[in-house]
Amino acid sequence: MAQVLEFKLPDLGEGLTEAEIVRWLVEIGDVVAIDQPVVEVETAKAMVEVPCPYGGVVTARFGEEGTELPVGAPLITVAVGERAPSGGGVEEARTESSGNVLVGYGTSEAPARRRRVRQEPVAGAAPTTAVNGRAGVPEAEDGPLPVISPLVRRLARQNGLDLRELTGSGPDGLILRADVEYALRAAPRPAATEAPAPRPAATAAPGEIRTPLKGMRGAVADKLSRSRREIPDATCWVDADATELMRARTAMNTAGGPKISLLALLARICTAALARFPELNSTVDAQAREVVQFDHVHLGFAAQTDRGLVVPVVRDAHARDAESLSAEFARLTEAGRTGTLTPGELTGGTFTLNNYGVFGVDGSTPIINHPEAAMLGVGRIVPKPWVHEGELAVRQVVQLSLTFDHRVCDGGTAGGFLRYVADCVEQPAVLLRTL
């Protein structure tokens, strides 16, 4: 007899508590291999393909596409040691499991041996689990209860139905969803006063459109609110003549080789500035009342996508040259557009660079990407009147804004950082002298 194992939505890491089912990658009856992706989910941070740690036959799926599930909720059940249902070339599925494929994968329940199926599964029958070495049903808190599916339990609970009063029509008396639905149809409906329908949290008034703050939009809202609530931030800004920086980039890109992006040059300037002013490459441990300073720069950069604002992180940006930074920015930006960024690529930043000039605006007061201590904002680079070498000229001018956590440093440090960044933008040779 096959053993049915329940695979639950794993902890996808970084404090994520729920995910929305975007697309099922398997059907009931499919044979899956260990670590084969079975569902694509969208978290508040990224699109993730979730691999199943068990190999066997899919016997149930929980949740339709578009359903939001909490971490720990059932995703699928897999019959391990089950033969393929229709001669698909798989004699039997091995009753093995992978290791911890993602955070929170508990796979120690799966046996580590092969078992051969003695009889074919009944078509359309609900799965049963192995209890004490034989087919049976899971134990309830106060005794055996012949029901497996959490959906059946929830349906009965929501309708006040005692499952112990039902006789299941499935194998070994297993209670199926059809049994619950039949019992509910046969039972008299309670009066409206006995079980009033829950009122919605809010209804749209005429002329209103209400959009739930959930998923990525909800995560962004929570993070920005927390930043404003917890961080005593301040902003300083300066205009800089970026003409020489733009000329330097043009010269680099006409010399052959991979193209260097403007964002990569700004990132090199940021990492050099953080080496001189490391106070801004830090975070505040409020509980310990300590400033935690980092010896590495994991540089986040703001990227607008169809799914909303994301902040991918370039690991060890301080150790990369402009060519490497350009390639990594391009890779992460494309992954953000296609929704394939992993949670690990969206977290762990120590400083953020925000180029909002791509939206055609000159300036902004950036909100710090909690729990970091600072963010550099870069406006558009446009021709403007500028006094250059004592003469009025048209130059390529950019506004730079620095928002910083006033707990980690005072204005002198923040001003020194921003002035150094502006000097490097105006005279790229300043950067070369400090490398």
* Residues acting as catalytic residues: 406
Neighbouring C-beta atoms of residue 47, cutoff 10 Å: 19
Instruction: Provide DSSP, 262-290.
Output: HHHHHHHHHHHHHHH-GGGSEEEETTTTE
63 phi/psi in degrees, rounded to 5:
105, 130
Q: Where are the alpha helices (DSSP H) in 115-261?
A: 150-158, 177-186, 215-230, 243-254
386, 426 contact by CB (below 8 A): no
349, 377 contact by CB (below 8 A): no
What does the block give as tokens for 405?
């956590």
Helix (H, G, I), strand (E, B) or coil at 223: helix
**What distance in Å separates the CA atoms of residue 313 and residue 262, rounded to the nearest whole number?**
17
Cβ burial of 39 (10 Å; 0-12, 13-18, 19+) is buried
**What distance in Å separates the CA atoms of residue 368 and residue 381, rounded to the nearest whole number?**
23
Comparing CA positions, the residue from 44, 15, 22, 66 lying closest to residue 214 is 44
Residue holding tokens 């550099």? Answer: 376
